[in-house]
Copies of this chain bind each other. A is one copy, B any other.
Amino acid sequence: MHRVRVRVAEDALDANATIAAANRADFERAGVTVVNLMSAPGSGKTTILERVLADGSTIGRGVRVGVLEGDVQGSLDADRLADLHVPVAQLDTGHGFGGECHLDANMVRSALPLLDLEAIDLLIVENVGNLVCPAEFRIGEDARVMVSSVAEGEDKPLKYPLMFRTCELVVVNKLDLLPHVDFDLDKFLYHLDAVHPGVAHVEVSARTGEGVDVLRSWLAALPDRAGRSALG
């Protein structure tokens, strides 16, 4: 039984890699840079997006943003973003028994017809809130960004190393709660460096807006870094 399960898992990951490559080719053709945005439930992904996109659908350097929302159930997050004049598409993963615990390349592929890729330069895919499975499934992204809130504890990089190891940027959120929680930021960064030496991080409070400019600039520069500017 155990060997059968492992075999199936490998097949699923092989198939995922194939479809992720196809997604990536489509994104490259359309000149779209893709960010896979991941975190635990309630870390503040949607609130961060609301802040980043508060001034409209471009975020500097003329970069036009679109969002793909993955939710186990409902369209709460997509509804929140719909007020922001940003193209938002919704993936409902709740067809399984308890819903999918991650987005995979095929789910993202199924949403591509909902998106006008020609009208955006940067697609931000908000993954399902989960620190395990989303890290295992590429969706065709250029960069992975994860959010970790100070309310979750400084041990998280050690407990979920794959997630912290596979991302290009770690957003430390809820900085405004630092005086009220037992969270040593230096210790968190030390643990982060242990599992992913040299990874970039930004410190933000989506609630107060602190640090959001830095994140917005990082995202706005991403199409250039990916060699995929609107002109390219």
Q: Which residue numbers of A lie inside 8 Å of B, CB to CB?
A: 1, 5, 8-9, 12-13, 15, 40-42, 71-74, 76, 96-101, 128-133, 135-136, 149, 151-153, 155-156, 158-163, 174, 176-177, 180-182, 207
Asked whether, in the complex, the Cβ of A155 is within 8 Å of the Cβ of B76, the reply is yes
- The contact of A42 among B13, B71, B151, by CB within 8 Å, is B151
Name the residue on B nearest A181 (C-beta). Answer: B177
Name the residue on B nearest A135 (C-beta). Answer: B98
Name the residue on B nearest A180 (C-beta). Answer: B180
- The contact of A13 among B73, B97, B180, by CB within 8 Å, is B97
**What's the minimum C-beta distance from A91 to chain B, rounded to whole angstroms?**
14
- The contact of A98 among B5, B96, B136, B177, by CB within 8 Å, is B136
Bound-state CA distance A132–B153 (Å) is 20
Bound-state CA distance A177–B181 (Å) is 8
- The contact of A101 among B101, B151, B156, B159, by CB within 8 Å, is B101
Asked whether, in the complex, the Cβ of A177 is within 8 Å of the Cβ of B155, the reply is no
Residues of B within 8 A of A129 (CB): 40, 131, 159-160
Residues of B within 8 A of A101 (CB): 101, 130, 132-133
8 chain-A/chain-B pairs, Cβ below 8 angstroms: A1-B15, A5-B12, A8-B8, A40-B129, A72-B159, A76-B159, A180-B180, A182-B207
- The contact of A161 among B5, B40, B73, B162, by CB within 8 Å, is B73
Residues of B within 8 A of A174 (CB): 151
Asked whether, in the complex, the Cβ of A149 is within 8 Å of the Cβ of B72, the reply is no
Asked whether, in the complex, the Cβ of A74 is within 8 Å of the Cβ of B159, the reply is yes
Asked whether, in the complex, the Cβ of B99 is within 8 Å of the Cβ of A132, the reply is yes
**What's the minimum C-beta distance from A229 to chain B, rounded to whole angstroms?**
33
Bound-state CA distance A156–B46 (Å) is 13
